[in-house]
Structure 1
Amino acid sequence: MAWVWTGMVLLSLIFGIATGNLDEVANAALEGAGSAVELSISMAGILCLWSGVMEIMNACGLSAGLARAFRPILRRLLPEASRDEETLAAVSANVSANLLGLGNAATPLGIRAARRMARSCDGVASNELCLLVVLNTASIQLLPTTIASLRAAAGSQTPFDILPAVWLSSAMSVAAGLAAAWLLSRRKRRRL
């Protein structure tokens, strides 16, 4: 990735020099850096708010209840991982956090679940581990808090008016991911 960014900077400088617009390139870089800092600060506040909401949900047991609600579905999707209660709890919490649009809170839970699932894989990802990655990456979101935060920071008066589109697109991405994982696992079984 460092090579990509270095290449983009070098190309910008080369074209800035070639076209005589080097001052404009430098000004755009400084303006972009300032905008990035402003966005980061506004996002930090909003992410702190939603992380606090998640902590309150954890303290009052709402997130545990939400995770329990997903366990029957997850037991059908991940039967081997469901045998270990701690792994199932981590997967359930990961799905719950993703459902609330808290990807930054879901990531450590997903990593913990993946580590627990990888113990029995002997260096090769199992179908269930790949399915966990699909569920974590595609994730159905009821409240897209991160996107709404970005929209609010950009000045949107109604940052949550995207809910129907988010629900539809996230449901479609999870369905497509699950279908692809299922087809690839069947193909793998046929080759064996």
Structure 2
Amino acid sequence: MSIDHVDLALKSKSFKQRQSNEPFLLSSILRCPDCDNKGSAACKANSVKAYDAENDLIQRIECFLCFLVNKQKFQVTIRSLTKHSIESLSKLKKDLTDVDLKLKDVIELRNKYLEAFEQNLFPVPVLQERLQQVAIEKTALEQKKNQLIVEIGKSDTKVIPPELVQILLERFIEVYKSSSRENKSNYSNS
């Protein structure tokens, strides 16, 4: 079969990629970075083999656990992750405070323009234009505020003791290595 035939088969709607029925550790959590869907049927950009992804994850966990030879380095790594999470949340909260202050200023400016309108201090077209600009800015700030509130709501900044991470990872690797492929998938889905 030539490359042209393969290309035609891939482009054909009747061509379907083979799907493995084998259970995999990561099958319930892997998502395509391009389309955010699960599995190769959803997107042709998905080219990572399940075995490779699974083996890579296990190797990375084992490598991470190797830091335990130098317990201080392991603890620094875990604390660094927690610190980064806390710093990100702090930045989001500061941004929210800044947006709230700007929103307050915009509302005060709008009220001044409305007051000027009532007192006929400026021509109506000028005030209408300025009020429209203020309304646009207010809407943008309210959208930004809502986005920040959602991001803050998603944040998880619990401090996780490094010792607990170590115990959980060691136990996971131990159970994973002693299990059959089918049981391995069940562990990851529970």
Bin for the TM-score computed over the shorter chain: under 0.3
Larger Rg: 2
The structure with the greater share of residues assigned to helix is: 1
- Which structure has the higher relative contact order (CA within 8 Å, separation 6+)? 2
TM-score, normalized by length of structure 1? 0.27
